[in-house]
Structure 1
Amino acid sequence: MINKSSLSGDTIPYMLQKRAADYPHDVAYSYPAADQHYTWLMVWEEVRLLAKSFIQLGVKKGDSIVIIMPGRAEMIISMFAAACVGAIIVPLNTYSKKQELEHYLKDSRPAAIVMGAQGQHVHYPTIMQEIIVDLHKDGVDQHWFPKHIFVLEEEGKANELFQPYSDLRLLGAAVDEQSFLTACDMNVSSDPLILLYTSGTLGLPKGVLRSTASFLLAVENAGKPKKSIAMLMKISDRFTRHFSVLNLLPLYHLGGFGTLFASLKTYNIRMVMLSHFNPINALSAVEKEKCKVLIGTPYMIQQMVLSPKREEYNLKSLLGVAFTSAAVNNTILQKIMKGLNLYFFMVSYGSSEAGAVANGTCFVNRRQNIILYLLYKLLRHLNLLNGLIQYKEFEKGSYSIGGRVDKVVEVKILNPETGETLPPHEHGEIAIRSHRVMRYTSETNDRASMTADGWYRSGDLGFLDERKHLTITGRLHRTIIRGGEKISPVEIENVLLRHKDVEDAFVIGIPDELYGEQVCACIVAKQGATLSDSVLKNDLAPYLSTFKLPRYYVFLPVFPLSPTGKISVAEIKSLVLNGIGELRRNA
């Protein structure tokens, strides 16, 4: 084990080595489906071995390493090993198809790929072979395609194109400890750490290159913490080391990777993860691993709560929920609170581009837990949590509360058309400036999201109050323009969700030759309810202006989710435009 004092603080090798030294036998990461339970010492030893293998391959600081596989401990090991040698981690969406994968590889130009054999209904070795065949057939430039590809789970099936993951591990034996230490010593927190790709709702996914420093509380706090802070962190570790947290988010997503970083840097906590999200598997993991906290999108957790098999699982260990990566409205919150007996829940706001922006904690009034409250006060003192929000604030609002803005983050609300800064409580586009904001690796001027003075225009709509509490009201690109009138889908959704027979609602605009766009309401009816477009039209009429009333209704059994746990806008639009579901034109 190397001396952590020789490493730069707030880098992956420093933090990993410190965890392994302080808590060698505490379980850090668990994948119950694969029966993998890795202690900090096991993680550190595997990371050192794989990092030496990357050195043997010739991977150097600034190179990128693509990692694509369903959730497994080997994915975490590969990510941390890449970071130790100064390489950029490029975790890819496991639902990626051939065209998307080729785009990612051309954009990131990796030195090596570490992949699982099976993605989500995808066999990646086959896709890689197809890409290689196409390159040879077309005779195009191939210098962006990596020389080294290693495949997990297909031992004994290697060919001239791919090598088994076990061979990659063996390469490290030829590299001495000093070479590894030298590579680790070259790490600083301002270095690029991870390349995350956005969901690509407006076209091909764009890459956001994030540094280690962008995950820290503040740039000026980089390095080894002061004695008082270090003592507080040790005290919090004594509490949190007994917690198991189920992270539902994939590691190629900012929220998913952020949980890894939090357990590494902020608090020693056992992180339980799934190979991929499935509500039944998630319910089973909570029960089996006795998880105390759930981290996921509101839609993921709603699917767990509303599952027909929910009552088959004992969730008494669960104390709280941390909502992330998508806004939670009062309707979804009420369903979750009814289905789970919680002490607290947390809300947050952020993005791949902006990093963490705001958060808030709500203790449910009907239950008190002094230990949890003391832990909250401790984490609040460490500036890890931004403040309390009363439950009544969620009940009275129809929009989604994002929490209180972080101390190290600036937020202002802009008029989307003029760019003018708006006063408190005025709705507009959310703009963010901080050390956590990262630019796209490539961005055309006509879609520039960064201003000259460093403000990131998020495309999210919302408002601030005098307390710096941020409320999210929608997305700029989701605004429907019908005959020149601007219509908020969220406003219509909120009215629909109050209907006694509506379980869920999502409103989109669809092309129309006369008006430009028409309003289309996608509906999931409550079990046993009989709904029709005429009934909904009549029931909505008293609450919405005529031009806001949906022209079309689509009835679906469930809303499709994206791999990151959000409602898939692209898939819903495809269902509507291709006539799948029950599309009814208003009379």
Structure 2
Amino acid sequence: MGVTRKEGDSSVPWVDGLTIGQVLQSTARRFPDDDAFVFCAASARMTWAEFDADVNRIARGLLGLGFVPGDHFGVWATNVPQWVLLQFATARIGVVLVNINPSYRASELAYALQQSDVRGLALIDHYKSSHFLDMLCQTCPELASASPGQLQSKAFPKLEWIIALRGNRQPYALMWDQLYSRGESVSQQRVEDIANALRPTDAINIQYTSGTTGHPKGAMLSHRNVLLNAFYAGRSQRLDHRDRICLPVPLYHCFGCVLGTMVCVVHGSAMIFPAESFSAEATLGAIEHERCTSLYGVPTMFIAELEHPDYPQRNLTSLRTGIMAGSPCPIELMKRVTEEMGANEITIGYGQTEASPLITQTRTDDPIELRVGTVGQTLPGFEAKIIDPDTGQELGDGVQGEFCGRGHGVMIGYYHMPDRTAAAIDADGWLHTGDLGMRQSNGYYRITGRLHDMIIRGGENIYPREIEERLYEHPAVEDVQVVGVPDRRFGEEVLAWVKLKRGDTATEAELREFCGESLSRFKVPRYWKFVERFPTTVTGKIQKFKIREQAITELGLHDIANIETA
């Protein structure tokens, strides 16, 4: 690593060779009185000095509970201040943060808790119609007779501590304020001793990404993975301590907790969170009131903001840049964001969780046609190639093939899944993304499709197999095929073709409710069709692409399907 670091010199990654805790300390020393974060809905605001001090207090609290480097700690919550504090407190003492999607239902939660070997779990009480504590107790009935730190569960043998981030006191949980008090007997010197023994290549985060079999895979990321990604992602936007990033994206996702929080810590920019979950109205209000200079989002978020009734009345003149990513970015939408919204230096990023997450990104000074029509060039320290998915042979410019990336962002591997890791990362260190793309002669890339049948709805990865397996559990369903169809707002929506067993009946409403009992809401199909047969090849293989083509015609989606993306 050994990189020469010179303050103010953005040509070298000053974060290389450091841990997340060391980077936060440096930023707090340089910009102590600048805003670190603002949570608009919670009316919470901290400077960098306050943030760093609070992170130390929480780190001491975790040590007081007995956590040690290498332990796993889950956070299951919406965008709340405690999420960010825990992210950096765990990193400071080498505890691995496990991100848990707040949309998970009880069965999905159970899988994540079991597979990740978490020793502690912090969660909110409820948000809208999701009752987190109720689902946790349903998942882990032993909580009914447990006291804080004394949980003994057959399904989750490593889980000991439950931290309630808000709500009424629960007999089995430690409240947030009690976590602070548990650290009063722990010296700050102990925190420093542990922090100084950590290595930048240590795993510090597990982020779940959906799997083709329906079981999510936990991508293990290191300090160095996320810090270098954050350094270059911020540099591509020309960020510094005067910038204020509006973050309507979820914290559990790499968009929020790497391109959001890590970018801000690396560059000293303020994190501005409009609401606990995405709200176009709250986002527009946050940009105006907090004078945000950068705006993040998946395409559907930008569409919702541009189409919101409040949009014409909002003063968004502070906007300069940002990142649009998470799903294919329509070129016309990029033009609107650039020309109408005022974010004339908006960038597009491409990558995936396994790459921490960005592999490519456009730059603020790229010509407009490249900034709206491509996903940019590789980040420094990354290389990419396009290969024939059948032969593995590298392809030339202008030829479509599988996009592969190699460099500092490639994950350590999938937690407890060596076979899946070997399938994703080859012997030469290349990450096989499963996305189709092509390289232009100028070194810029375009993403043209996907090798597999994954659906990306509003930035959420959905694997049809998970939904199909759920529907196969319904007693009336004989066969089912799930595909993605174009959608103007979300990029894609979920469609299910269902064949019922002879003599059995089921309605769309019944199947929709059945899916919603165990699947996150965004996975429940929007479109349904009951059929007697599926299109197949002569050998009997179902042709999902024909289902999609027929659905586009039947649903009148041709115009949306023809929207050009980068």
Structure-2 residue corresponding to 1:306: 307
Matched, 1:409 2:398: no
Q: Quick one: distance in 1 between partners of 2:45 and 2:80?
A: 10
Structure-1 residue corresponding to 2:104: 96
CA 322–87 in structure 1, closer or farther in 2 if over 3 Å, else same: same
Tell me if structure 2 keeps the 8 A contact 1:428–1:462.
yes
Matched, 1:153 2:155: no
CA 268–91 in structure 1, closer or farther in 2 if over 3 Å, else same: same
Structure-1 residue corresponding to 2:516: none
Structure-2 residue corresponding to 1:544: none
Tell me if structure 1 keeps the 8 A contact 2:31–2:241.
no
Q: Quick one: distance in 2 between partners of 1:126 and 1:257?
A: 26
Superposition deviation, residue 91 in structure 1: 2.0
Tell me if structure 2 keeps the 8 A contact 1:195–1:210.
yes
Matched, 1:13 2:21: yes
2:53 to 45, 53, 66: 45
TM-score (norm 1): 0.71
2:204 is aligned with what amino acid?
A: L
Q: Any idea what SS the aligned residue of 1:66 has?
A: strand
Superposition deviation, residue 112 in structure 1: 1.2
CA displacement 1:274-327 (0-9 Å, x = unmatched): 311111111111111111110111221111111233223222222233212223
Q: Quick one: distance in 1 between partners of 2:483 and 2:29?
A: 58
Structure-1 residue corresponding to 2:535: none
Structure-2 residue corresponding to 1:116: 124
Tell me if structure 1 keeps the 8 A contact 2:337–2:344.
no
1:441 to 404, 415, 421: 415
CA displacement 1:333-361 (0-9 Å, x = unmatched): 23434541333211111110123211112
Structure-2 residue corresponding to 1:59: 67
Equivalent pairs counted in the alignment come to: 460
Structure-2 residue corresponding to 1:194: 205
CA 103–521 in structure 1, closer or farther in 2 if over 3 Å, else same: closer
Structure-1 residue corresponding to 2:195: 184
CA displacement 1:1-47 (0-9 Å, x = unmatched): xxxxxx99511221222222222111111101111111111111111
Structure-1 residue corresponding to 2:223: 212
Q: Any idea what SS the aligned residue of 1:429 has?
A: strand
Structure-1 residue corresponding to 2:436: 461
RMSD, aligned CA: 3.6
1:451 to 418, 422, 426: 426
Q: Any idea what SS the aligned residue of 2:245 has?
A: strand
Superposition deviation, residue 412 in structure 1: 0.9
Structure-2 residue corresponding to 1:576: 528
Q: Quick one: distance in 2 between partners of 1:519 and 1:199?
A: 15
2:173 is aligned with what amino acid?
A: F
1:165 to 165, 176, 183: 176
2:330 is aligned with what amino acid?
A: N
CA 523–214 in structure 1, closer or farther in 2 if over 3 Å, else same: closer
Structure-1 residue corresponding to 2:517: none
Structure-2 residue corresponding to 1:269: 269
CA displacement 1:506-545 (0-9 Å, x = unmatched): xx9999xxxx9899855659xxxxxxxxxxxxxxxxxxxx
CA 264–203 in structure 1, closer or farther in 2 if over 3 Å, else same: same
Tell me if structure 1 keeps the 8 A contact 2:386–2:437.
yes
Rg (Cα) greater in structure? 1
CA 310–519 in structure 1, closer or farther in 2 if over 3 Å, else same: same
Q: Any idea what SS the aligned residue of 1:353 has?
A: helix
Structure-2 residue corresponding to 1:290: 291
1:391 to 364, 368, 374: 368
1:392 is aligned with what amino acid?
A: E
Q: Quick one: distance in 2 between partners of 1:8 and 1:422?
A: 32
CA 453–520 in structure 1, closer or farther in 2 if over 3 Å, else same: closer
CA 578–215 in structure 1, closer or farther in 2 if over 3 Å, else same: farther
Structure-1 residue corresponding to 2:12: none
Q: After the TM superposition, which residues 313-392 of structure 1 pair with which residues of structure 2 at under 5 Å, given as runs?
A: 313-337=314-338, 339-355=340-356, 356-362=358-364, 388-392=365-369
Superposition deviation, residue 441 in structure 1: 1.8
Tell me if structure 2 keeps the 8 A contact 1:330–1:394.
no
CA 323–174 in structure 1, closer or farther in 2 if over 3 Å, else same: same
Structure-2 residue corresponding to 1:484: none
1:158 is aligned with what amino acid?
A: Q
Q: Any idea what SS the aligned residue of 2:36 has?
A: strand
CA 578–333 in structure 1, closer or farther in 2 if over 3 Å, else same: farther
Q: Quick one: distance in 2 between partners of 1:295 and 1:586?
A: 31
1:86 to 70, 91, 94: 94
Superposition deviation, residue 106 in structure 1: 0.4
Q: Quick one: distance in 2 between partners of 1:72 and 1:570?
A: 24
CA 454–64 in structure 1, closer or farther in 2 if over 3 Å, else same: same
TM-score (norm 2): 0.73
Superposition deviation, residue 262 in structure 1: 1.5
Give % identity. 24
Q: Quick one: distance in 2 between partners of 1:90 and 1:586?
A: 40
Q: Which runs of 4+ in 1 moved over 6 A?
A: 134-137, 508-511, 516-520
Tell me if structure 2 keeps the 8 A contact 1:8–1:14.
no
CA displacement 1:467-490 (0-9 Å, x = unmatched): 32111111112499xxxxxxxx9x
Q: Quick one: distance in 2 between partners of 1:43 and 1:477?
A: 42
CA 136–431 in structure 1, closer or farther in 2 if over 3 Å, else same: same
Q: Any idea what SS the aligned residue of 1:41 has?
A: helix
Superposition deviation, residue 158 in structure 1: 2.4
Matched, 1:427 2:400: yes
CA 401–201 in structure 1, closer or farther in 2 if over 3 Å, else same: farther
CA 19–471 in structure 1, closer or farther in 2 if over 3 Å, else same: same
Structure-2 residue corresponding to 1:131: 139
1:336 is aligned with what amino acid?
A: V
Q: Quick one: distance in 2 between partners of 1:360 and 1:326?
A: 15
Q: Any idea what SS the aligned residue of 1:448 has?
A: helix
Structure-1 residue corresponding to 2:185: 174
1:72 to 80, 105, 110: 80
Unpaired runs of at least 5, structure 1: 1-6, 222-232, 363-387, 481-488, 490-507, 526-567
Tell me if structure 1 keeps the 8 A contact 2:436–2:449.
yes
Q: Quick one: distance in 2 between partners of 1:569 and 1:164?
A: 30
CA 270–87 in structure 1, closer or farther in 2 if over 3 Å, else same: same
Structure-1 residue corresponding to 2:509: none
CA displacement 1:350-394 (0-9 Å, x = unmatched): 1101232111125xxxxxxxxxxxxxxxxxxxxxxxxx4322346
CA displacement 1:71-118 (0-9 Å, x = unmatched): 122111111111111100112111111011111100111121111112
Superposition deviation, residue 401 in structure 1: 1.3
Q: Quick one: distance in 2 between partners of 1:353 and 1:326?
A: 15
Higher RCO (C-alpha under 8 Å, 6+ residues apart): 2
Q: Quick one: distance in 2 between partners of 1:434 and 1:285?
A: 35
Q: Quick one: distance in 2 between partners of 1:517 and 1:133?
A: 35
1:152 is aligned with what amino acid?
A: L
Q: Quick one: distance in 2 between partners of 1:196 and 1:184?
A: 22
CA 524–275 in structure 1, closer or farther in 2 if over 3 Å, else same: closer
Superposition deviation, residue 168 in structure 1: 0.9
Q: Any idea what SS the aligned residue of 1:458 has?
A: strand
Q: Quick one: distance in 2 between partners of 1:241 and 1:570?
A: 38
1:38 is aligned with what amino acid?
A: M
Superposition deviation, residue 466 in structure 1: 3.0
Q: Any idea what SS the aligned residue of 1:412 has?
A: strand
